[in-house]
Homo-oligomer: A and B are copies of this chain.
Amino acid sequence: MPSSTVRNARREITGFSNPTVKYLRSLREKKHRKREGVFLAEGLRLLTDARECGHVPQMLVMAAGRDPHPLIDALEDTVAAAGGEVIVTSPDILSKITGKDNPQSVAGVFAEFDTSLASLNRSAAKIWLVAQALRDPGNLGTMLRTGDAIGAGGLILIDDCADPFSVEAVRASMGAVFTQKLARATFDEFLPWLRGGDGQLVAASLRDAVPYRGAPYAAPSFVMVGNESQGLPEAYEMACDLRVTMPMKGRADSLNAAVAAAVLGYEVLEAMRS
């Protein structure tokens, strides 16, 4: 359909107390996201990545008075053609919705994905990242972003992790929430699933470990990092096929969780290339 027709479907919102604004703002809280089964993502780059990966928002929110941009037009056309809603509002209201002082020019409401282990195809990638009880949404998003960079298949969240659909995690993922697969499970669910097929479970550890450089990584390799303060439970480390150590030359005995995943992830990537 011609885009002039499509653009007639825009709805304008001017008041902070509008129910749609309240609905959108509520999505910054986990309980509301969970109830609605949706999450919020912001930014033209991120929404364009989403569109190109086949994720079309149910609702597109645009700031009024923005400069025209062919990618925004493309987003608007895609959303309208899919039967979604296009909202135009003030930059102030968009700022209120995303909780950011300098809001991006667009935000979208997306349906949450299937995050069951069953939805993963382990042979689709040589590397998978696994996070256990990761509490920081920024670390979680950063792991998704790193996963995209190293060509991982996705991120498996073990036990009680931060919500991957939080605004902070989605933002830190820089769009990788749309390109990486996501699964959530307890360790007791994950381990039998892993053992039901090929897969090497790898973790950084101080226990009975070999140097991370040149370790015998094997695809598909599941690279696991633990909670920010506690690290991995000993039983989880012991269930690994490969435990590796990274040099720690200073006073500290651990790295930031997202950093550890990245250093190890790049090492596994190099091993898979050679």
Which residues in A have some Cβ–Cβ distance to B below 8 Å? 49, 52-53, 138, 142, 145-151, 172, 174-176, 179, 213, 246-252, 254-256, 258-259, 262-263, 266, 269-270, 273
The complex is assembled from copies of this chain, and their number is: 2
A50 CB to nearest chain B CB (Å): 10
B-chain residues with CB within 8 Å of residue A148 when the two chains form the complex: 249-252
6 sample A-B contacts, Cβ–Cβ < 8 Å, listed by A number: A138-B138, A148-B251, A151-B249, A179-B251, A247-B273, A256-B258
Q: Is the CB of A270 within 8 A of B213?
A: yes
CA distance A176 to B172 in the complex (A): 24
* Closest chain B residue, CB of each to CB of A263: B266
Q: Is the CB of B145 within 8 A of A256?
A: yes
Contact of A246 among B52, B246, B266, B273 (CB under 8 A): B266
Q: Is the CB of B149 within 8 A of A249?
A: yes
Q: Is the CB of A262 within 8 A of B255?
A: yes
B-chain residues with CB within 8 Å of residue A175 when the two chains form the complex: 251-252
Contact of A256 among B53, B142, B213, B247 (CB under 8 A): B142
B-chain residues with CB within 8 Å of residue A179 when the two chains form the complex: 250-251
- Known A148-B250, A149-B246; further 17 A-B contacts with Cβ < 8 A: A53-B251, A138-B138, A142-B258, A145-B255, A146-B259, A147-B250, A148-B252, A149-B255, A150-B250, A151-B247, A151-B249, A151-B250, A174-B254, A179-B250, A255-B262, A262-B262, A262-B263
